[in-house]
Amino acid sequence: MKIEQTVQTTPQAALEITDLGVAYESTWVLDHIDLTVKQGEFIGIIGPNGAGKSTLLKTLAGLIRPSRGEIRFPAARGRRHPVGYVPQRFDLDPDLPLRARDLVGLGLDGHRWGFAWPNAQRGRKIEQALAQVDLTGFADHPAGKLSGGQLQRVLIAQALVSDPELLLLDEPLSSLDLASAQTVVDVVHRVSQNLGVTVLLVTHDMNPLLPVMDRLIYVVNGQAVIGTVDQVVQKDVLDKLYGYDVEVLRLHGRILVVGDETASGDAAGFEHR
């Protein structure tokens, strides 16, 4: 009789951060950050204003040079770029003669001067990226006339068109209404599931991500902890991270982190209260 054995495989690390530190002059914005993110994970990043969330993303994207430490992308394959990045703010002139497909195409050749000549392979990549964010029908729509949610999805398509291993999103839900924010969350989750892309998403309110994210990174005062919601969003963990007493409230399926308003710094959590 032949017995078949099922081998359990552990996902490879997509991102490894060791003793990462970023300093501006004599101030450490990030200090002694040690994190490992597994391939295909959907990770939320939260913390108060000025905690270092955007600095962390920009450092991973190569826009900021770390003052010390090491960043590795072990799972990056030869056919894939390590990182796709969507910045926190993107101001676009409504009258700029730029179509949605042109904006996505900048993810392939935006580092070059002028626009690339059209070719079949480039066109297919752009169409695929737009399909991944459910905007195929808006390919020739003026980019400046798109709604906030549609523009955010076009920017995500721009980050995906180069086939990244890791997708970094800095506050993609800010300034969006609830319906548009939920659409963006659903699109990003589907991309992560279907393409195996690892996602790191910064937001001030994690509640929309609760059904889809695997773990979260909580950043406060340049320090960070990583784990599941139940592991991290606990009073003892956050008291230590903030350096003062906070309360964790769970109400009607939502999570609030409330801090002492008289303490230094502002309390932050899944919603500011």
pLDDT along the chain (273 residues), means of 10: 47 92 92 95 93 94 95 75 86 83 86 59 92 94 91 95 94 92 96 94 91 95 94 92 90 83 43 40
* CA–CA separation, 208 and 185 (whole Å): 7
pLDDT, position 4: 47
CA distance 187 to 114: 30
- Tell me what pLDDT residue 265 has: 39
Helix/strand/coil for 137: helix
Give the model's pLDDT for residue 115. 55
Q: What confidence score (pLDDT) does residue 120 get?
A: 83
CA angle 76, 77, 80 (to 5 degrees): 85
Q: Helix, strand or coil for residue 7? A: coil
Q: In angstroms, what CA-CA distances link 248 with 50, 67, 270?
A: 21, 34, 10
Helix or strand holding residue 54 (H, E): helix 53-60
